Amino acid sequence: MKFLDLAKVYIRSGAGGNGCVSFRREKFVEYGGPDGGDGGKGGSVWAEAVDGLNTLIDFRYQQHFFAQNGQSGMGRQRSGKDGEDIILRVPVGTEILDEDEETVLADLTYAGERVLLAKGGNGGFGNLHFKSATNQAPRRANPGQECIDRTIWLRLKLIADAGLLGMPNAGKSTFLAASSNARPKIADYPFTTLHPNLGVVGIDNTEFVMADIPGLIEGAHEGRGIGDRFLGHVERCSVLLHLVDGTSETVAEDYRTIINELEAYGGELAEKPRVTALNKIDALDDEERAEARAALEAEVGGPVMMLSGVSREGLDEVLRAVRAQIDEDRLRIKEEANAEASDAEDAPWQP
């Protein structure tokens, strides 16, 4: 299945049905009176997050979604039928943007969440609605409300607890394959990963979701290489795991390149908690390990972990460190939610 994380969609709600002008006509009934019914309501367009989807590929083959119009009213006081709604089923983590690709209309972050994108038009009143003591034979009816046309963008940001960062061939896919049941493509040339991969990682009887995105190179924010278009998939992560290739001759420069790209991307991505690890230590002897670790720690300004995705050396220690950061982030979010709830309870009552 092809991975697609951005799609342009055209939607239209249903127009309301027109009201009817009709008068009762029956044999031997002298005073018939108005009996025109109201028009039906047009269908609305909804978006709903559902489980089981991790790509927007369905919207590559169908971009137009038009809800049904409401039926016009009829005589004998018959109202028109309401139009049927249209539901866009999208993966969890989908952002809905306006046509300018900047204004966020909705962010669907859990299964079952729904948002109204285009409301259907109300049906018009028939002439029966306007009957009164002073106007017993009204000859007017309202037209139904018009439909709403709009163009929206769907942008998918995968839901993951931890995200993998690094230069091409830093060993991210190998690490994901070693720590989970995911089977990403692994090869000895750059950019083997062309789209994000998700894996469920288990450590100490706990599980969390890790996302692997294509590697970044210098100038990615300017479109070099694959660019930074996949960085949005790690925006929701609690912690970033930065893997640095230990066999590289420019360990410190490789680390700085990724940090510069995160800062150029903007937002809160550069401020997220990070765990830095020196990868591929199975290919280094003790002296080379110490030299590479010292150079990287001098650039990071903090501790650096050591691991090998091939030999699994240091793998569990890195996963425990990542898991600890995830637990801290969840605890922080829980405390903030409790504080907001407490403030709401303490607020003075208002009618």
Task: Render pLDDT for 200-210 as a digit per residue (tens, 0 to 9).
Answer: 888 888 888 89
Buried b (16+ CB within 10 A) or exposed e, 208-227: bbbbbbbbbbbebbeeebbb
pLDDT of residue 1: 47
Given a contact cutoff of 8 angstroms between Cβ atoms, the answer to whether 243 and 169 are in contact is no
Average pLDDT over residues 40-67: 92
pLDDT of residue 189: 64
DSSP per-residue codes, 77-102: TBPPPPPPPEEEEEETTEEEE-TTS-
**Annotation: CATH topology of 162-337:** Rossmann fold (3.40.50)
Q: For residue range 324-344, what is the model confidence (pLDDT) as tens digits?
A: 999 888 888 788 777 777 776
Cα gap 81→70, rounded to integer Å: 6
Domain ranges for the chain: 1-156, 162-337
Is 70 exceeded by the pLDDT of residue 319?
yes
Q: For residue range 143-186, what is the model confidence (pLDDT) as tens digits?
A: 999 999 999 999 998 888 898 998 888 888 889 988 888 777 77
pLDDT of residue 2: 61
The CATH code of the domain at 1-156 is 2.70.210.12
Please, what is the Cα angle at 175 between 174 and 180, to 5 degrees?
Answer: 105
Q: For residue range 249-284, what is the model confidence (pLDDT) as tens digits?
A: 889 999 999 998 888 887 778 888 899 999 999 988
- Mapping DSSP to helix (H, G, I), strand (E, B) and coil, where does residue 222 land? helix
Bridge partners, residue 50, by sequence: 91
Find tokens 């367009």 and name the residue.
45
Q: For residue range 91-139, what is the model confidence (pLDDT) as tens digits?
A: 999 999 999 988 999 999 888 999 999 999 999 999 999 999 999 899 9
DSSP per-residue codes, 64-75: EEEPPPPPPPBT
What size, in residues, is the chain? 351
CA nearest to 39, candidates 119, 120, 117: 120
Buried b (16+ CB within 10 A) or exposed e, 161-190: bbbbbbbbbbbbbbbbbbbbebebeeeeee
Would the pTM count as exceeding 0.85?
Answer: no
Q: For residue range 56-65, what is the model confidence (pLDDT) as tens digits?
A: 989 989 999 9
Cα gap 101→289, rounded to integer Å: 46
